[in-house]
Amino acid sequence: SYGARSFSVWDAQGRLVFDSGDDLEEITAAAYPDGFNSNAHNNESFDDRSDDKGPEPEGLTIGVIEGRTYAFIGLEHIGGIMVYDVTDPTAPTFVQYVNTCNFDGVLEEGTAGDVAPEGLTFIPADESPNGKPLLVVAFEVSGTTTIFEITEAVAELKALPETGGNVPLGDPIYLLLAAGAGLLVSGCALRRLSRSWS
């Protein structure tokens, strides 16, 4: 099959008002040329997904931050989260792509990072335990759940301290969203849960 390569916006009358076309593949190819249309948990799978749904956008959630509406889209196979500003649903704009998978890691050894985002939940600042908007992502293959904090944009990126229990979280990832988007997604895992492999 050749489907599931884009995300679409439909109006209340069921009319297609936007489709991202090949944007997701163009963006992932630029970010990970050696991992294009691969399975993030298989280091030898370059281009294996091109004839089978490509990056396979599967999970989606919407969040409103400072008056702007954002779509957070999980890509099941190459992994990662696409962020689009959908304030104007007829003309969404790409904001950021973040992937916390380690393509050189080994899934069974717990070094592959977050693999195959499946479920995404946006928590607005007024409902968040730390008063900041959060994105919670469950990763199917790695069995991990990661919480991303979204804060106001800053002129320069500064390292934030890692937090969490006894699960190693690795190096934090800091993502400045596109100019004018007014956001900084701090990919520092606030808490990560993982399952044991037998």
pTM: 0.71
In a domain, 22, yes or no: yes
Q: Burial-class residue 174 by CB neighbours within 10 Å (0-12, 13-18, 19+).
A: middle
In a domain, 118, yes or no: yes
In a domain, 3, yes or no: no
In a domain, 1, yes or no: no
Q: DSSP 3-state assignment of 19?
A: strand
pLDDT for 63: 92
In a domain, 138, yes or no: yes
Using the Cα atoms of residue 178, residue 185, residue 158 and residue 35 in order, give the sign of their dihedral: negative
Residue 104 CB coordination number (10 Å): 9
Number of structural domains in the chain: 1
> If you average pLDDT over every residue of the chain, what do you get?
70
In a domain, 198, yes or no: no
Instruction: Examine the pLDDT at 178 and tell me if it is beyond 70.
Output: no
Share of the chain above pLDDT 90, in %: 13
In a domain, 16, yes or no: yes
- Which residues span the domain enclosing 172? 8-193
- 149 or 39: which leads in pLDDT: 149
Could you tell me the pLDDT band of residue 145, with boundaries at 50, 70 and 90? confident
Cα angle for residues 11, 87, 99 (degrees, 5° grid):
105
Nearest-angstrom CA–CA distance, 142 and 85: 28
In a domain, 144, yes or no: yes
